[in-house]
């Protein structure tokens, strides 16, 4: 991937700097979605062409990987890579920020409190779960 610059903010934006990419990562990380149709059915109403493009971009960036579903072999199953799982602190910080300013946030009060007061414990707990579910050892 050719970078416009190596400014750290630009580097991040080049990899996941649009809302659809972040929503796919959200779905993989917090909503246990793993298949194309599950992403497509998310409430934000992404088009099929944009969804396919973002999945490919995230895969090319090494943030997600795709493989065959173990249950239904004809289906593709998406997983976070270690690079994707390493986005967890950033995603939690976005949830906390949004929870502070969006009075209609869908983030639960308990989750927000854990993210603020027990951040490291929450991060470790979610990280362990993601590693078990997404990384094949």
Could you read off the pLDDT tens digit of each residue along the chain, which spans 137 residues?
Answer: 676 777 888 888 877 778 899 999 999 999 999 999 999 998 888 999 999 999 999 999 999 999 988 888 789 999 999 999 999 999 999 999 999 999 999 999 999 999 999 999 999 999 999 999 999 75
- What's this model's pTM, rounded to 2 decimal places? 0.89
Phi first, then psi: give them for residue 78, nearest 5 degrees: -100, 145
Q: How far is CA 45 from CA 42, 52, 66, 108, 114, in A?
A: 6, 13, 22, 23, 30
């Amino acid at each position: 991937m050719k970078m416009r610059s190596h400014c750290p903010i630009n580097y991040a934006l080049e990899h996941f700097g649009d809302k659809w990419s972040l929503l796919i990562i959200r779905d993989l990380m917090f909503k246990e979605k793993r298949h194309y149709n599950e992403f497509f059915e998310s409430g934000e109403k992404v088009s099929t062409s944009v969804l396919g493009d973002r999945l490919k971009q995230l895969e090319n960036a090494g943030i997600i990987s795709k493989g065959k579903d173990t249950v239904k072999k004809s289906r593709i199953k998406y997983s976070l890579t270690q690079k994707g799982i390493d986005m967890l602190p950033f995603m939690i910080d976005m949830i906390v920020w949004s929870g502070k300013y969006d009075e209609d946030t869908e983030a639960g009060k308990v989750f927000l409190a854990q993210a603020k007061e027990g951040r490291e414990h929450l991060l470790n707990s979610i990280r362990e779960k993601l590693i078990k579910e997404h990384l094949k050892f």
